[in-house]
Structure 1
């Protein structure tokens, strides 16, 4: 039953991720463009150039803010990662700790033969 619920949660997270893939790409591109505009703004010495880069930065910032829903896609991607990690985890059988060297040798031998 647990695997079935993980599978359903994974499908839902995958659907959300795919639905938000476009805004995620646009958010990434706009953040990169904001970085480029900032670097060019800092390099420019003229006032007209600084004003032009500021206007370009504000336009790109408005595009970035409009794609803020891409954060939902990032949360869905993280949820998919957690579901995958939980799906593939295998719980080892609890072996009582012992100071007996032969018991530890048997455990290490079994791990080497996997």
Structure 2
């Protein structure tokens, strides 16, 4: 039953992630543009250049805000990562216990100490 819940959560998260790839790419591009515009704004010495870069930066900032659904896609990617970790958690712990010879010895030692 736990695997079924993880499967459903992973399926929903993957559908949301796939549907928000476009806004995620748009947000990435607009934030990169905004970063380079800001760096040029700090380097500009003329007032006209600063005003022009400020206007362009404002337009790109509005484009970044328009791609806000990309944040939902990032959350979906994180949920998908958590589902992946939980899915493989049981496999790793079982393999670790079976391959470690001292775990069996510790269990037997604890059983002997009970009496």
Give the structure-1-normalised TM-score. 0.80
Match of 1:22?
22
User: What corresponds to 2:47 in structure 1?
Assistant: 47
Which residue number corresponds to residue 98 of structure 1? none
Matched residue count: 99
Aligned counterparts of 2:82 and 2:55: Cα–Cα separation in 1:
41
Question: Any idea what the Cα deviations from partners look like across 1:52-73, whole Å, max 9, x if unmatched?
Answer: 1001100000000011111000
Correspondent of 1:107 among 102, 106, 113: 102
RMSD: 2.2
Cross-structure match for 1:101:
none
CA distance in 2, matches of 1:52, 1:6: 51
Alignment-derived partner of residue 74 in structure 2: 74
Larger relative helix fraction: 2
Structure 2 residue ranges without an equivalent (≥5): 106-115
CA distance in 2, matches of 1:72, 1:19: 10
Q: TM-score with structure 2 length normalisation?
A: 0.79
How far apart are the structure 1 equivalents of 2:32 and 2:18?
22
**Offset of 1:88 from its aligned partner?**
0.2
Alpha-carbon shift at residue 92 of structure 1 (Å) = 4.6
Unaligned runs of 5+ in 1: 96-104
